[in-house]
Structure 1
């Protein structure tokens, strides 16, 4: 049996779009999590929801590695944009990860993870490059298929793929004050969410390659759009399934 690749989504709608691509998925429940084992484009795949927040994410990552023996993890989800030019409808492919709410000072420097001597963990370069190619391929083709009403509703214009620092924390960032504080403390951060840095730490511990792509749903500020369910349904879930499909069909 081939070693499986894990496909992880942050939200149900995104995972459902991925599961719709799998012809033979079988559900298995471990630790209160539903895992789906199946095949996609010749790959042995385990698909799962990460759960919300860093603890849920770490539990899911550990189960994928310990119980299913996955040797690659690809995470898709949404995030709030922070970096200049990171707009709604763009995607961010992470090169490294940081927990923005990690602060064990003055014993350790702010953001440093105690016991590791570091504040950031790296994405795997090989599968990240593959994910970038898949994302760029999708962004060239998919937005024009979304329809004028969707493009206008969310102001989607020439979406881009960004690469760099992705930050995570156990706080939903949705005010201008919070966003500005994060940008001041971490000026290299492109986007903020709640799970990826926890996945990165677990994958570092086990030596398992990780790549993460996040669709920008808002700017993590007071002007964040209010129709998140529609964005998730009509934009983010379609991005996720198309990017995973393109990723797994690369040769």
Structure 2
């Protein structure tokens, strides 16, 4: 079963790509795809691009052109939950598009034509990803966060929200969370791609799972240098977790 590994940033996938056996680079739809094997599992690595449209295009290409049977996303996000801090990891159970608003024709956050707000991640694949993340946190990740002066990493699971804007201010975070909470939603993290991929996978009936390492609190305070975080923590999470996941699959 070919499994696709998506990330938004090249730095997160460099380590993974170098580990692939019999790697083959393919250019398609303006993107570079790398196909090979990792611990006996057929893997296709690709960069999603930034934003929902780019992510959806990449996901569709992986399914239509490369025959992906499951998609896993690994990347960074801003933390929204009170207990979610820089260096922690959120494993998605559900996704919502926080900027979807077709009211008054449809309720706020509902995706027209689907009759729902929430897109669930695949339970079995998410459980396997969660176990791989937990193993990484228990065995390795504490050393990585310590290098940047961060606290011990923790794993969270729940709702991640996506939208086509970079959320980076305290007031914007408060408004975002209040709007979601009024709809009965409790977000743990915010990013720009996952909900689109979840919708594409729902269309095709494919399993989808995602993890996000928390690089900031999506507010005005810069807790750590972002490029340094990606290199020192996010890229390590991507490599270690996906390796462990492939072993488990």
> TM-score scaled to structure 2, two decimals?
0.95
For residues 2-30 of structure 1, the C-alpha deviation after alignment (integer angstroms, 9 at most, x for no partner) is x3110111111001121122132111011
Per-residue deviation at 1:226? Answer: 5.4
- Are 1:109 and 2:107 an aligned pair? yes
- Are 1:65 and 2:63 an aligned pair? yes
Matches within 5 A, 1:1-251: 3-146=1-144, 148=146, 150-152=147-149, 155=150, 157-187=151-181, 188-225=186-223, 227-250=225-248
* CA RMSD after TM alignment: 1.2
8 A Cα contact 1:143 1:151, kept in partner = no
8 A Cα contact 1:78 1:214, kept in partner = yes
For residues 189-235 of structure 1, the C-alpha deviation after alignment (integer angstroms, 9 at most, x for no partner) is 00000000000000000000000000000000001335100000011
Q: Give 5+ residue unaligned stretches, structure 2.
A: none
> TM-score scaled to structure 1, two decimals?
0.95
Q: Give 5+ residue unaligned stretches, structure 1.
A: none
After the TM superposition, list the runs of 4 or more consecutive aligned residues in structure 1 that deviate by more than 2 angstroms. 143-148
For residues 102-160 of structure 1, the C-alpha deviation after alignment (integer angstroms, 9 at most, x for no partner) is 00001100100001100110100000000000000000111343374x241xx2x2211
For residues 134-189 of structure 1, the C-alpha deviation after alignment (integer angstroms, 9 at most, x for no partner) is 000000111343374x241xx2x221111110100000001111111111112300
